[in-house]
């Protein structure tokens, strides 16, 4: 656990880099929209080939899932936890730029990159975990 203070010069340098990040995030968002359209078209084609599949898929579409995007993890003592305050920095296990883990009902199923969508955080999926690897992780 460490507290960090930034100088005004560092804050300006940081904000200048953020505009470049915003542009990159907007480009990523466009890629996500294109990919979503392709997936929607592929799903529609698959359903048109098997009319009974539509009823089965409709049945499971409403099952709620808990989706968690994990930025990183940290371990600390209770003493360190009690010392946390506004402005405290908690160091995480992941490096900046590492993909974020996507958990569905507690199971890691994908990895992705953070994006901005309508001024909110979003995720661009960059890797789907192979089902065989997911099963091995359970054992």
Q: Tell me the pLDDT tens digit for each residue of 3-27.
A: 445 444 444 444 445 566 666 666 6
Picking from 65, 132, 138, 139, the residue whose alpha carbon sits closest to that of residue 102 is 65
Residue spans per domain, the chain? 2-138
pLDDT at 14: 47
Which has the minimum average pLDDT: 28-42, 71-85, 91-105? 28-42
* pLDDT tens per residue, range 52-94: 666 667 778 888 999 999 999 999 999 999 999 999 999 999 8
**pLDDT category, 35, cuts 50, 70, 90?**
low
CATH class held by domain 2-138: mainly beta
Please list, residue by residue across 87-96, b when 16 or more beta carbons sit within 10 angstroms of its beta carbon and e when fewer do: eeeeeeeeee
pLDDT at 53: 60
For the entire predicted model, the pTM comes to 0.52
pLDDT at 61: 82
3-class SS letters over 50-66: CHHHHHHHHHHHCCCCC
């Amino acid at each position: 656990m460490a507290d960090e203070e930034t100088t005004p010069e560092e804050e300006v340098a940081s904000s200048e880099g953020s505009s470049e990040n915003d542009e990159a995030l907007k480009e990523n968002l466009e890629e996500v929209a294109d990919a979503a359209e392709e997936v929607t078209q592929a799903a529609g084609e698959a359903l048109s080939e098997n009319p009974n599949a539509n009823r089965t898929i409709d049945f499971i579409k409403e099952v709620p899932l808990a989706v968690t995007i994990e930025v990183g993890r940290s371990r600390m003592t209770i003493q360190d936890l009690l010392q946390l305050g506004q402005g405290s920095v908690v160091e995480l296990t992941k490096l900046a730029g590492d993909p974020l883990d996507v958990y569905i009902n507690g199971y890691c199923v994908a990895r992705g990159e953070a994006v901005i969508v309508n001024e909110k955080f979003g995720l661009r999926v960059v890797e789907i975990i192979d089902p065989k690897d997911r099963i091995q992780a359970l054992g």
